């Protein structure tokens, strides 16, 4: 049975607007899970030759030859394929060539580009930060620069979106991007030429020792090609610093390469037991993965954080650690994605991600939640259903009736058939959410203010240590007034009551974003950001208060 944290016991005022948020999250997560659908690395599966469908080909031929208007038969074929796959499970998918390439770059070790993290604010593309060691940093691009034009393409106005920016700034290594930059303090546009290069992608967002000097914190956002090596580098650094116990944060992690995930699980689990196995119609797709070596953290209390955004490979890690009584799982029930996709590369560069089996964790339970073939709306809308019956706010509302009970190695009761149910429940706190806050976010007002403030006060802030900053710096009323003013310039109507409701959260986010801009960690890490936000994170508070229990698991 779940135990409630102190936060659940206090009254939380959740508005109807806030309760609907899981539906928005589900739409975002759907895309993330498709990116994270890879199973055993990036190897293509070559199956039996599929018999050609003469009927489909015949119809396309007639359309191409005789239809009254000109038709793009390629896009028509793509549409037909996607509609056909909708009749299968929710995770079998077809990705046209351009989307397949973009999705692959999210998991593989980098892509070719100019190396900036950008932000769209008021129909303009701003540089949040040039990536460390990247080509933009080398030529002098700075945080806060506005990219007005790139290779003759205007990057301002209503037409600006992420796809346009990717298409303009990404490209073959060694090619040039001529950019016109507007920089604060300069009347004229500045000209920069950046030569595209390999830009590494990172998946471990944080790895640092907390204030007590014994608790490590590692956050993994997805399981990509480099995740295991990034994780091991962080783990070794924390052990060197004296870490005795660890919080592994998998919240919002949609999955990725399962091989990288089980390698990480293996670092915590003793012996040579099964970590995950698959079972499908074709025996050739059945596989068992075992723990293979002595891990680097097989002793010491371990807590894993999950929520409804944790899916696929992240559920495998948390589920295996729970089944072996190696970790205490803290948070909310995970997404429930237990279907295995094989990536099949097609001749035109497109990709079919075909569900070939289900995977099972050591206790024998499947974590796949129920679905009705062809009903994607209900499947991804299930998170909204959880909110409606109160599951995000009360442990007693968690519905496990769709899955039977199993037992861990030492006899604890766990459930299958709908995600990983945590040992310690942490309710969603939406008391800070308001429409005013959402408008500030959707117009990037908060992030843009933090970037601008960090640039204007860099010399002053750099005189402080990050620890002193976390302890002493305050986002004051003058700064909040400027945020309000910036919002009004974008026609965001100020609402005093909603501002009061969201004030502390806005202050926290601004403080964290300033910290990330000033105190740089090794490539890929945002330790300074998490050192701020984790101070008031209810998941972290719950984890810290249950380490004694985590340390007794398996004994």
- Report, as residue numbers or ranges, the catalytic residues: 312, 323, 337
Query: Which residues fall within 8 angstroms of residue 313, CB to CB, at 6 or more apart?
Result: 36, 223, 253, 255, 256, 257, 258, 260, 261
Neighbours of 357 (CB within 10 A): 22
Give the integer Cα–Cα distance in Å for 28 and 42. Answer: 23
Give the integer Cα–Cα distance in Å for 185 and 198. Answer: 31
Using alpha carbons, select from 103, 208, 220 the residue that is nearest to residue 166: 103
532 membership: H or E segment, kind and range: helix 527-533
Give the integer Cα–Cα distance in Å for 510 and 499. Answer: 14
Neighbours of 463 (CB within 10 A): 7
Using alpha carbons, select from 475, 478, 531 the residue that is nearest to residue 504: 475
Helices (H), 73-212: 73-85, 97-107, 135-139, 162-169
Give the integer Cα–Cα distance in Å for 107 and 343. Answer: 13
Are 227 and 259 contacting, i.e. CB atoms less than 8 angstroms apart? no
């Amino acid at each position: 049975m779940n135990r409630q944290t102190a936060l659940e016991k206090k009254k939380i005022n959740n508005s109807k607007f806030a309760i609907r948020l899981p539906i928005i999250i589900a739409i975002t997560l759907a895309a993330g899970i498709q990116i994270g659908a890879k199973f055993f690395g990036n190897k293509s599966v070559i199956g039996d030759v599929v018999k050609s469908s003469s009927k489909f080909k015949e119809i396309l031929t007639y359309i191409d030859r005789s239809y009254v208007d000109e038709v793009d038969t390629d896009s028509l074929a793509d549409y037909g394929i996607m509609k056909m796959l909708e009749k299968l499970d929710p995770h079998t998918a077809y990705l046209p060539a351009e989307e397949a390439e973009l999705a692959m770059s999210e998991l593989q070790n980098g892509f070719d580009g100019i190396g900036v993290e950008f932000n769209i604010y008021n129909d303009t593309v701003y540089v949040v930060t040039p990536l460390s060691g990247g080509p933009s940093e080398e030529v002098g691009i700075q945080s806060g620069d506005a990219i007005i034009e790139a290779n003759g393409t205007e990057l301002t106005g209503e037409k600006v979106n992420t796809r346009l920016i990717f298409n303009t700034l990404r490209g073959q290594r060694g090619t040039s991007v001529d950019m016109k930059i507007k920089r604060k303090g300069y009347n004229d546009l500045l000209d920069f030429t950046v030569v595209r290069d390999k830009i590494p992608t990172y998946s471990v967002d944080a790895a640092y020792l907390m204030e007590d000097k014994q608790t490590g914190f590692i956050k993994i956002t997805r399981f990509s090609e480099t995740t295991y090596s990034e994780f091991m580098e962080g783990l070794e650094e924390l052990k060197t610093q004296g870490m005795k116990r660890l919080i592994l944060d998998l919240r919002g992690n949609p999955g990725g390469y399962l091989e990288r995930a089980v390698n990480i699980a293996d670092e915590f689990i003793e012996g040579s037991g099964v970590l995950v196995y698959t079972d499908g119609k074709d025996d050739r797709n059945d596989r068992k993965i075992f723990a293979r070596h002595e891990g680097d953290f097989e002793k010491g209390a371990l807590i894993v954080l999950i929520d409804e955004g944790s899916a696929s490979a992240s559920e495998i890690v948390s589920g295996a650690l729970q089944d072996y009584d190696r970790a205490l799982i803290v948070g909310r029930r995970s997404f429930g994605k237990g279907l295995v996709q094989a990536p099949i590369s097609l001749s035109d560069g497109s990709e079919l991600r075909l569900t070939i089996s289900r995977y099972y964790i050591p206790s024998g339970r499947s974590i796949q939640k129920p679905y009705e073939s062809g009903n994607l709306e209900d499947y991804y809308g299930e998170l909204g259903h959880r909110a409606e019956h109160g599951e995000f706010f009360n442990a007693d509302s968690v519905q496990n009736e769709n899955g039977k009970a199993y037992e861990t190695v030492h006899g604890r009761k766990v459930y299958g058939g709908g995600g990983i149910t945590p040992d310690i429940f942490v309710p969603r706190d939406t008391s800070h959410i308001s429409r005013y806050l959402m408008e500030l976010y959707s117009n990037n007002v908060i992030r843009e203010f933090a970037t601008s403030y960090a640039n204007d006060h860099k010399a002053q802030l750099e005189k402080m240590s990050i620890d002193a900053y976390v302890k002493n710096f305050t986002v004051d009323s003058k700064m909040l007034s400027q945020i309000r003013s910036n919002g009004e310039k974008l026609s965001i109507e100020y609402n005093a009551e909603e501002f009061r409701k969201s004030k502390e959260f806005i202050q926290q986010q601004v403080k964290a974003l300033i910290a990330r801009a000033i105190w740089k960690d090794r490539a890929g890490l945002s330790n300074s950001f998490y050192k701020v936000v984790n101070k008031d994170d209810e998941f972290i508070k719950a984890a810290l208060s249950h380490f004694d229990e985590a340390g007794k698991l398996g004994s």
